[in-house]
């Protein structure tokens, strides 16, 4: 049974990662969510691009999803910098259940340090935050991770209420059977 929708809400992004999965498919060919799907799912993961770059439009999307009683959990995926910019501008997070931080650049890492230092109270109220650190696998059983990343893992866990995961890039990610990938055509269309 489908319970989770990954919803692509923008292609705007502050990074240009070589292995970005958005380069592997034509986003226009990703289906729009059906009314039946929107009425039955319990979790929505907003993705892009970086949804925080939408600013107030992100709040409109979140609030529209919130108006559906079946949707209990809304998470936003971000690389970090756009999340910091959003909080600095609006002094809040949207009405969501959690943020998944996945830094890709030095600017993202710096932004997450600023979130830890200045805005941890915004994250402590959320029920499920995650930090994904992408690491290089250099042979079958060894990985590289530098010391600054190690410190970040501990502090994000302690101050941003983040579960921490180490990941490697995969070129072709297949969604689990209970999850679907959809795109938004118009943020006011829900």
x-marked contacts with ligand SF4 along 43-82 as a string, rule CB under 6 A: -----xx-----------------------------x---
User: Does the protein bind ligand SF4 through residue 15 (CB under 6 A)?
Assistant: yes
User: Counting Cβ atoms within 10 Å, is residue 30 exposed (0-12), middle (13-18) or buried (19+)?
Assistant: middle
Residue 105 contacts residue 15 (beta carbons within 8 Å)? yes
Q: How far apart are CA 9 and CA 174, in angstroms?
A: 19
15 or 40: CB nearest ligand SF4: 15
Of the candidates 104, 130, 182, 183, which one interacts with ligand SF4 according to CB under 6 A? 104
40 or 85: CB nearest ligand SF4: 85
Q: How far apart are CA 90 and CA 97, in angstroms?
A: 18
Listed residue (115, 146, 120, 119) closest to 133, CA to CA: 146
Q: Minimum Å distance from CB 122 to ligand SF4?
A: 21
DSSP bridge pairs for 142: 139
DSSP 8-state assignment for residue 56: H
Of the candidates 5, 9, 13, 116, which one interacts with ligand SF4 according to CB under 6 A? 13
Residue 41 contacts residue 7 (beta carbons within 8 Å)? no
Q: How far apart are CA 54 and CA 75, in angstroms?
A: 15
x-marked contacts with ligand SF4 along 134-173 as a string, rule CB under 6 A: ----------------------------------------
Specify the stretch interacting with ligand SF4 by CB under 6 A; choose among 16-24, 29-37, 118-126, 174-182: 16-24
How many residues at the interface with ligand SF4, by CB under 6 A?
10
Q: Minimum Å distance from CB 70 to ligand SF4?
A: 28
DSSP 8-state assignment for residue 34: P
Where along the sequence are the contacts to ligand SF4 (CB under 6 A)?
13, 15-17, 20, 22, 48-49, 79, 104
């Amino acid at each position: 049974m489908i319970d989770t929708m990954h919803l692509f809400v923008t292609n705007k992004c502050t990074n240009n990662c070589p292995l970005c999965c958005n380069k592997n498919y034509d986003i226009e060919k990703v289906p729009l969510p059906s009314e039946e799907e929107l009425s039955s799912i319990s979790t929505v993961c907003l993705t892009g691009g970086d949804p925080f770059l939408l600013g107030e439009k992100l709040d409109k999307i979140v609030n529209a999803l919130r108006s559906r009683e079946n949707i209990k959990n809304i998470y936003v995926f971000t690389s970090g910098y756009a999340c910091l910019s959003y909080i600095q501008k609006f002094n809040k997070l949207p009405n969501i259940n959690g943020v998944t931080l996945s830094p890709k650049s030095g600017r993202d890492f710096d932004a997450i340090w600023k979130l830890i230092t200045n805005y941890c109270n915004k994250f402590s109220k959320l029920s499920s935050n995650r930090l994904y650190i992408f690491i290089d696998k250099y042979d079958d059983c060894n990985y590289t991770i530098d010391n600054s990343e190690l410190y970040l893992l501990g502090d994000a866990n302690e101050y941003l209420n983040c579960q921490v995961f180490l990941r490697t890039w995969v070129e072709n990610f297949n969604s689990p059977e209970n999850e679907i990938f959809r795109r938004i055509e118009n943020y006011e269309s829900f």
